[in-house]
Structure 1
Amino acid sequence: MKISDRTFIISGGASGLGRATAVDLIQHGGYVAVLDMNEELADELIAEVGKDKARFWRCDVAEPGSVKAAVEGALAWAKETGKEVGGVVAAAGVGLPAKILNRDLTPFSLDDFNFVVQINLQGTIDLVRQCLPALASNTPDGPDKEHGIVIMVASSAAFDGQPGQTAYAASKGAITAMTLPMTRDLARYGIRVVTIAPSMFKSRMTDALSDKVKESLFRTMEFPRRPGMPEEFAHTVRMCVENVMLNGTVIRLDGGVRMPSKM
């Protein structure tokens, strides 16, 4: 599917991987609806790329009403510009590390577990489901009559989660598991589904790690021995949009890393 003259809805689009994706899609002719909680970062992004190419809607993906309002706003903007919504990228997510049983033999908080699952899993599926009617109604594109694409974001933790990542791994593992059945549900509408599972990528969080922790992480990597760059994630998103044969799959974007039990 071509990117040019299409709108893409991105949750978590004001920072990190979502921001890099927004910038890349705009550089290749797309329009971006940025859904995020951080208005300040969103304003900085829009100032960079231009308000004719991007719009911001404050959105808490844990609240269906907030998602509904943001999606409706994005769809109205796409109708106003005449740039159909070609895809949705569900990049909003959180991590709240905690071992299921601590040294005092106290189980972790179920509220904390539910918070992570609510943001990462429910927030993903809610955004996707609310965008699907618009994608299914699109004008078919190309010889395959494609209508749109859903891109979800998992994590290498879905496959080899670290200690303290039970909640995070559960939420991301569920995203990988629903990729294929969602693909099968949506095939009749010409909508593709792809999940990207990145490992450690450069971010404010990773920048704050100590040199000792960074070195221990780098030792687990094969090649390259460094964090992924947000632009590399964005390039993968673009590849997913443009290559119609990418469907029903989970792409591990990790440089061959397989995280061990202990660092």
Structure 2
Amino acid sequence: MTEIKNVSGTAFIIAELRVEGSEENNPLYTDEIVKLFLNDETKKVAKEIVKTFPPAKDMVKIRTKYFDDVLSTQISLGYQQVVILGSGLDTRAVRKGTEKVVFFEIDNQNTLLLKEESLKQNKISANVKYIPGDYVKDDLIALLAKNNFDFNLPTYFLWEGNITYLTKDEIIFVLKQIRDNVKNFKLSLDYFTEGVILRTTGYQEINDYRDELEKMGAPWLTGFENIDNFAEELNLKVSENFSTADLYKRYRPHSSLESNIFNFYFVCTLEG
């Protein structure tokens, strides 16, 4: 499956789920751009993976809605730079961008090329700088500096669908780099509790989903039981922290939870 190997398989899965979310009768968000990156092969792969764990659909839709809202708020407050770490097939530079806000997307070269070429072919422009590289191994600060990032401007960092696949040391390393070099920032991320990583939740469905992702070379490595304590150790503040169960009730007040896993999956926003 050449295309899936050249571009992260998880990026395609998330993109397919975003398309589905956008096409619902009462969508939580609208994303007409993401389908440009997809085809019958990616749809088939995503469908097979999600069969293992159907709640993954709503988990992605809920976090997309939350991160969209936080991003819009930061832009309205005057944040002029947005950095998307491990951006995958994210479309926010098109959907949420303005002339006054510069987006910086960091991911592997093949993923960014697919995105850039697809947008060009469809004559869609965005105020975005694509930065090929590994934000852990290649030095995040150096990557940003080479692309005219202004470390003194208020910046919003989006770290969506990434930290579960990193070690705790790698997560700490990235957060310290941002904390020590960016004057004014907020950062949003999503995470599972440690119980999910340790397979102690008692829900076999989430373990099965993990197994499918591991077969694709995307093992889950890190979760957090108390994000407040973790942030405090790094001299950061948690400004928001919600379980996706709480957000599910907020966004879908007339629906019942599909799975207890929503109680183990969180989104939060940190600030320096």
For Structure 1 versus Structure 2, the TM-score category normalised by the shorter chain is 0.3 to 0.5
Which protein has greater RCO, CA pairs closer than 8 Å, 6+ apart? Answer: 1
